[in-house]
Amino acid sequence: MKKLGVLPELYERRAVYYHRLKIDVASEKNQFLLSNRQKEFLVLDREDILDLFATTDPYKSQTFDQLLYGYRAIQAEASEVGDLSMHYGHAYALIKKNVEKEAFYDRIQSNGVRLPADLLRDKKKEILRDFKNAEYLLQYILNVNPLHVDAYLLLGWLHQYIDERRNVRLEIEPSYIEQVYEYFTGTSQQPTDGRFYSEIYLIYFPDNLYEGNIELYRQALEKVSGADPEPLQLASLNLNLANNYFKLLNFKRAINHYEEVERLRNVAGKSPFNGYAQRALFHFNLGRALFYEDRPAEGARHLLEAYQIYDEFERKPLHEQFSTLRFIMYSRDTSEYGPEIDRKLIRQKLEDLTAKSDEVRTRMSLIAALIGLAYWRAGDYEEAILFYRDAEFRLYKSGEPPPGAIDRSSLMNFIALAY
């Protein structure tokens, strides 16, 4: 359409949206295929799985490969006619594919499959190389059009993902030297992604990227603000800048930009958030920032908003899924639910749901405790006690406390102080 000049204004306005939609649909198809592939692993022993990884890539996605082939084939022509949306789609497909690829390998290893270190490093090199190519594509877009808000947002998101990924703890089998060290010191040296793949990060992304993101979003706001932008575009840029300030512990500036997001949201009459998780994180971060800046009553209000969002969109759906699967699993007449392999899959699903439920319990109890602390700091002791009790109930009266739970004695001390 760009080359033919058909509906140029509509194309400029909607092209990025349709590229994202096309890739998101392809991602859903790929997730379905990956889910079936993971089920196959349940009936394979470790040697068979390692042989499978040695001969092919179980993640290999024909869906994404076809998309990326098309983008590569059209890249030169897209540059010639100035179709920046094609470059954006290419970058988005590279990022989407490799984020899912990384998550796929994480799930395989969390299920007890220990993959050779050389294989993991080869896969990591492929992933970071694709991320670097995506970064180049987005930087090209911004060099041609410094007002391309979607390119700023995607590039900033990529940088944030890479920096956060560096700190992820890996479930990998330690080397012989590491095992000896752990034996004599009595400590666990579970490496982070950044440490285990340090030599690969040095090639592709040697620097921490949060500081660079601050400058990226500041430049974006400076350039875009003078070009009569839509309020939602400015809200998205302010939101991402605020998140990066928060990560760098600059709470005062984070609050300024979070409050600008709220103002722009009211002006637009629409939400700038992509789903409940982003909305919850906004309130969670703003609530904590306000608390740290000695505005506890306002902080409690935003923390409570985050708590309610997680309850509605995470705890309740998980509870319903868990109840349904337990009914199927322990039904007297199980023959209608298929052969033993199906029951094994149900057990695996129950284990996965239990792990997710523990994550949600931990998150909601942490937020409840923070709400209690904020109310206590604000002098509202009755509300503080209610939320401390809520945190205690979720952790210690709703099954076994999950790993990393707040210590019960600490909660009881906080309750005593509130009295």
327-367 per-position pLDDT tens digit: 777 764 555 545 554 667 777 788 888 888 889 999 999 99
Return the minimum-mean-pLDDT range out of 3-12, 142-151, 220-229, 371-380.
3-12
Tokens of 91: 């970058």
Residue 60 pLDDT grade (very low, low, confident, very high; cuts 50, 70, 90): confident
Tell me: pLDDT of 53 over 50: yes
The angle subtended at Cα 106 by Cα 104 and Cα 112, nearest 5°, is: 110
Return the minimum-mean-pLDDT range out of 149-163, 167-181, 302-316.
167-181
User: What is residue 175's DSSP assignment?
Assistant: P
How high is the pLDDT of residue 352? 81
Tell me: pLDDT of 375 over 70: yes
Q: 182 versus 249: which is more confidently predicted?
A: 249
Q: Above pLDDT 70, what percent of the chain?
A: 84
* CA distances (Å), origin 386, targets 58, 138, 374, 406, 411: 49, 48, 12, 16, 12
Q: Residue range 283-292: average pLDDT?
A: 98
CATH class of the domain at 211-272: mainly alpha
Tokens of 309: 């969002």
Tell me: pLDDT of 319 over 90: no
Query: Which of 39, 138, 45, 57 is closest to 100 using CA atoms?
Result: 57
How high is the pLDDT of residue 199? 96
What phi and psi values does residue 189 have, to the nearest 5 degrees? -110, 50
Tell me: pLDDT of 46 over 80: no
Which range scores top for mean pLDDT: 2-11, 58-67, 338-347?
Answer: 58-67
How high is the pLDDT of residue 240? 96
Q: 189 versus 251: which is more confidently predicted?
A: 251
How high is the pLDDT of residue 72? 93
Q: How far apart are CA 284 and CA 147, in angstroms?
A: 30
How high is the pLDDT of residue 7? 46
Return the minimum-mean-pLDDT range out of 57-61, 173-177, 313-317.
173-177
Question: What pTM value is reported for the model?
Answer: 0.85
279 neighbors 309 (Cβ within 8 angstroms): yes
Q: Above pLDDT 90, what percent of the chain?
A: 54
pLDDT tens readout for residues 173-222: 655 555 555 555 655 667 899 999 999 999 999 998 989 999 999 999 99
The domain segmentation of the chain, as residue ranges, is 1-208, 211-272, 296-418
Q: 310 versus 401: which is more confidently predicted?
A: 310
Q: Residue range 58-87: average pLDDT?
A: 87
Query: Which of 306, 315, 254, 269 is closest to 284 using CA atoms?
Result: 306
Q: Residue range 34-52: average pLDDT?
A: 65
Tokens of 414: 């906080």
Residue labelled with tokens 């709400």? 371
